């Protein structure tokens, strides 16, 4: 397999460098984190902060963080890590295959004493990553417990844009949403595309596709197993407060996330499983 090279961002912090005829990419075993993806002939599609920190326990800023098994603050215990336990620990690489049109990676995470202290369930989580002219990320949660297991979270994709001020997000015009900027406010469908002139942090009640229109480029985001689409840009003030993001970095991305909001958690029965997936592609007419 000469399309996949194993390197390290720091001692013990393994990165898979993908150089395939269809795309280039970087994927960290920490968080099973797709950091970068660039289809051949296109500009990078994912944004990854140049100030990301590569240390165990700290999520990479950018790419597709796995927010799992809860979204943002823990539903009942704010002392637990925001966005759950998956993005801030090493996953196992189960398989790495190169095919003519794509590279397919398979990662796994199981419960241990540390995870059970934060989330009292036995589980097996698997992430399948298919990298080619499109990117598909599939997170499957298997419940190994004898109790129903509530699963929420997000595939928290940072999409690279030329300038956030010239971006619009289409596909959510008919979706009511929860605005979480400065509190929580339930809002009716806006009837129009989303433009960005300040911080945006919204949970849209929406199961369909979304399109990010960035100048002449359109990025199409499809999803499965996700009742919520989260759209986020921190804007200048919040960006300045993030040490792992350049102050101007907010202009270079928009997050469009295949999410399961905590109040819409999937209840996975004992022995059952849940599949959360997103597919991203450059929309060529
Ligand atoms: O997805 C939006 C969001 O929940 C925002 O509220 C903001 O917290 C963002 O995720 C990033 O969270 P992080 O913990 O990665 O800084």
Q: Chain-centre distance of CA 216, in angstroms?
A: 24
If we measure between CA atoms, which residue out of 39, 33, 35, 6 comes closest to residue 20? 39
Ligand 1 pocket mutation, candidates 179, 181, 201, 259, criterion most atoms within 8 A of CB? 201
**Residue 154 CA, closest ligand 1 atom number:** 1
Task: Please write the tens of the pLDDT for every residue from 112-140.
Answer: 999 999 999 999 999 999 999 999 999 99
For residue 72, the CA-to-ligand 1 centroid distance in Å is 6
Task: Please write the tens of the pLDDT for every residue from 104-116.
Answer: 999 999 999 999 9
CA dist list (Å): 153 to 107, 135, 204: 18, 19, 14
For residue 100, the CA-to-ligand 1 centroid distance in Å is 36
Pocket of ligand 1 (CB under 6 A): 59, 72, 82-83, 156, 201, 230, 232, 255, 257
Provide the pLDDT for residue 184.
Answer: 96
What is the enclosing helix (H) or strand (E) of 256? strand 253-260
Task: Please write the tens of the pLDDT for every residue from 192-230.
Answer: 999 999 999 999 999 999 999 999 999 999 999 999 999
């Amino acid at each position: 397999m000469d399309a996949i090279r194993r390197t390290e961002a720091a001692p013990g912090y393994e990165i898979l460098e993908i150089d395939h005829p269809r795309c280039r990419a970087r994927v960290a075993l920490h968080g099973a984190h797709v950091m970068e993806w660039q289809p051949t002939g296109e500009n990078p599609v994912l944004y990854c902060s140049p100030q990301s920190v590569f240390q165990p326990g700290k999520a990479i800023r950018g790419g597709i963080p796995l927010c799992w098994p809860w979204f943002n603050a823990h539903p009942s215990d704010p002392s637990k890590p925001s966005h759950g336990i998956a993005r801030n620990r090493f996953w196992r690489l189960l398989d790495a295959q190169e095919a003519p049109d794509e590279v397919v990676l398979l990662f796994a995470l199981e419960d241990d004493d540390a995870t059970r202290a934060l989330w009292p369930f036995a589980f097996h989580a698997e992430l399948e990553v298919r990298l080619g002219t499109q990117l598909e990320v599939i997170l499957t949660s298997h419940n190994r417990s004898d109790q129903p297991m509530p699963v929420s979270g997000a595939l928290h994709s940072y999409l690279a844009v030329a300038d956030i001020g010239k971006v619009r997000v289409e596909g959510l015009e008919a979706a009511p949403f929860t605005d979480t900027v400065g509190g929580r406010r339930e809002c009716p469908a806006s009837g129009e595309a989303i433009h960005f002139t300040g911080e945006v942090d919204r949970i849209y009640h929406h199961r369909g596709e979304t399109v990010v229109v960035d100048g002449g480029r359109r990025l199409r985001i499809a999803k499965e197993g996700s009742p919520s689409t989260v759209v986020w840009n921190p804007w200048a003030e919040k960006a300045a407060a993030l040490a792992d993001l350049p102050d101007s970095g907010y202009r270079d991305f928009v997050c469009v996330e295949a999410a399961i909001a905590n109040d819409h958690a999937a209840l996975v029965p004992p022995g059952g499983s849940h599949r959360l997936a997103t597919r991203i592609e450059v929309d060529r007419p």
